[in-house]
Structure 1
Amino acid sequence: MSPDQLKYSKTHEWVALEGTTATIGITDFAVHLLSDLVFADLPPIGKKMTQGQPFGEVESVKAVSDLYAPVSGEVLARNERLTERRGADGKTIAAELDLLTSSPFADGWLIKANVTDVGELGNLLSQSEYKAHCDASAH
């Protein structure tokens, strides 16, 4: 996903829309602010989300930060690579949270959701608007 094709929230989530399916992640700007991520709490499949409301959390050595839904919808998939899980052999597989740093706009996606109101994307920012928002908040 090309960052210039995405829509962004002021709370640092991004959205890529294909039809009514949104892929949602957090921006590299947010990941660098948090640094040293240790845990991601992603919603279960089927969970309903409302634009602007928390849908999960990311935890760093510094703080726990809510993830806010950039659009309303229902969770269709979650990126299991970002959560600790059991392999077929029963052994624990560590969460690959480094994907949020190394590939925030591709392999580091958080969830996929069926969007209930595509018009809500109009409330989000373009890449240039998001960059201006980040620059302003850094001062």
Structure 2
Amino acid sequence: MAERKYSEEHEWIEIDGDIATVGITNHAQEQLGDIVFVELPEVGATLNKDDEAGVVESVKAASEVYAPIGGEITEVNEALTDNPGTVNEDAEGDGWFFKMTIADPGELKDLMSESEYKDFIED
């Protein structure tokens, strides 16, 4: 089963072997409101942990999406280009942003478990 972790910047990351799928959390999309535009990274781009990976814009605000770990972008969710509202409908499922290779599995230890993230957003 894939393992899921969370960042303090409200990204989720699902680890499946050496590939990670990244998106924004349900909490983040609730804070943003109706999402009208998503800018995704380029396939083949190499990002370091905490690099800006994209932008999500809502009727309220624009917000950067960061890489929770370092690695190479292997796939982006092209469906979000035509239907950015998918992020509102299913932020932690069909609304994923990109997939990347995991450059350094040690970086995963800096991320939160689901229960730690729930405590983090309640504080």
TM bucket (normalised to shorter chain) is over 0.9
- Render the CA deviation track for 1:13-46: whole Å, top value 9, x for unaligned: 0011111100001100000000011100001100
The gaps in structure 2 that reach 5 residues or longer are none
Distance 2:122 2:68 in 1: 20
Trace 1:1-139 onto structure 2 (pairs within 5 A): 5-83=3-81, 95-136=82-123
Q: Residue type of the partner of 2:121?
A: C
Normalising by structure 1, we get a TM-score of 0.84
Distance 1:52 1:112 in 2: 15
Deviation at 1:61, TM superposition (A): 1.2
Q: Residue type of the partner of 1:107?
A: D
Q: Residue type of the partner of 2:84?
A: L
The gaps in structure 1 that reach 5 residues or longer are 84-94
Deviation at 1:66, TM superposition (A): 0.5
- Render the CA deviation track for 1:97-138: whole Å, top value 9, x for unaligned: 2211221222111000011001110000000110111111xx
Equivalent pairs: percent with the same residue? Answer: 42
SS where residue 75 of structure 1 aligns?
Answer: strand
CA contact (8 A) 2:10 2:28 kept: yes
Q: Residue type of the partner of 1:120?
A: E
User: Structure 1 stretches (4+) deviating beyond 2 angstroms?
Assistant: none
Q: Residue type of the partner of 2:104?
A: D
Distance 1:36 1:98 in 2: 7
Aligned length, in residue pairs: 123
